[in-house]
Every structure is written in C-alpha cells, then in structure tokens.
Structure 1
C-alpha cells in the first residue's frame, strides 16, 4: 500500500509537475505586489490632495451696492478704526490708510458727504484713526 503525502495533488498539466493545493504560484505573488503598489499610489495621491488642496475658482464678488440687508442694518453705525504706535506710520502711510478706510465705507454704500474722518495724534507720536459713516447726513 502506498502512503499518501500531506499535500493532495490536484491535477497535472501536460508536461509539467503536479500542482499542490497549498502551494502558491508565482503569478499570484505578482498580483499581490501589483495590488500593494496600486494601494500605495492611491494613498499617496489622497495624502497629497489633503495636504495641498486645489484652489477652487473664485466666485465673482457681488458689486458693493448688492450687499445683503442683514449685514448693513440702517440703525447701526459703521466705523473703521486703528491705532498706530510711534514709528509705525508716516504722513504718507497715514493718508493711504485713511483713503483705504474711506473706500471701504464707500463700498458699503456711503455717500462722500456721509463719511467722517477723525485723526488724533499724541505727543509721543502715536496716532488713532477713525473713519465712520454718519447716516444722519444727507
């Protein structure tokens, strides 16, 4: 009587050795390596997109007169102010700040006659700038 091997032989291909049930073939290893590479590349692409998101196309900004009503409540005052320490500003930069603040208030819908500008300079060289929208003026 012949002894049986631990491995059961399935079948024989013509001209080759028998293939055992628990034995891996070289093609299967290649598929596993390829699947691992694909998963690694996909993970790398995902990580790159999470770290560096693509810039979306900016939406066109609404014109200054198309501001929603809830943002500009007519009863509430509008004021833009800042304080600048000594040495942080010159007369030229102060004028640039003033014009920038005036333009921001114009963009909110204020007329030129409604814009009030107040600049206070201290003895130490600091400045306090306040540009406001006086809605009671015509």
Structure 2
C-alpha cells in the first residue's frame, strides 16, 4: 500500500508560452464569432431578396412624373456638328424617349429651328394639356 504524506505535491509548471486559460477563452470567443459570421453569410445566401412592389403598367413609377407638367428634351447643335440625316435621327431619338415615358404620338410636339449661321435647335416636348 502507498504511503500517505501530508505534504501536497505541486503540479509542474511546464506549460508552453501562449497556452493556458487565457488562450483557451480567446479561441472559444474567436470560434463563436466565426460561427455567427458564417451563419449570417449562409442566411443571406440561402434566403432570397425581398421583391419590390410592381411599378405602374408603363414601367415608370407614378411619383416621378407629375401628370400636369410638360416634358421637354432639347439640344442645340453648332454649325458643322449636324447634317439633315443626323438631325432627323436626333428628332426621332427624342420622340422615342418621350414615347417611352408614356406619351401618345398625338401629344408629342417637335420644333426644329435653324439659324442663319448654320446652327440648329431641336425641341421635342410632351404637351399634356
């Protein structure tokens, strides 16, 4: 039978640097943070984004365009910057943009002014009156 002594034996202090209860708590905390971050990432990847409410039938929200206000697209071109063909292309492009906003052809007004120096001013507007 082993002999009992009143003297307590101390454990050897042979822990390496950086190990101990402080490091253990740090590793646990880091693992918890990583787990929460991974869970948030997984949730964002798996759950679809919320759909936005549908806009008006024309594709434009009703709040952007005030119904009573006229809409106008205009430009000025210097002499030598345009030809009759390019001028007609600009006019048709502006008319198409106004149509895309919902204007019927009967409400689209086109005004082309040519100066004596060779410049041109193009105004395409939506007359809502």
Which 5+ residue runs of structure 1 have no aligned equivalent? Answer: 1-61
User: Which one has more relative contact order, counting CA pairs under 8 Å at least 6 apart?
Assistant: 2
**Deviation beyond 3 Å, 4+ runs, structure 1:** none
Deviation at 1:64, TM superposition (A): 7.7
The total of aligned residue pairs comes to: 75
Output the TM-score relative to the length of structure 1. 0.52
Aligned residues of 1:83 and 1:127 also touching (Cα < 8 A): yes
Within 5 Å, give how 1:85-96 maps onto structure 2: 85-96=78-89
Q: Distance in 2 between matches of 1:131 and 1:119?
A: 9
3-state SS of paired residue (1:128):
strand
Cross-structure match for 1:71: 64
C-alpha distance 99-82 of structure 1, shift in aligned 2 (>3 A) = same
Q: Distance in 2 between matches of 1:64 and 1:127?
A: 36
Aligned residues of 2:56 and 2:62 also touching (Cα < 8 A): no
Which 5+ residue runs of structure 2 have no aligned equivalent? Answer: 1-54
Q: Distance in 1 between matches of 2:69 and 2:128?
A: 9
3-state SS of paired residue (2:116):
coil
Deviation at 1:71, TM superposition (A): 1.1
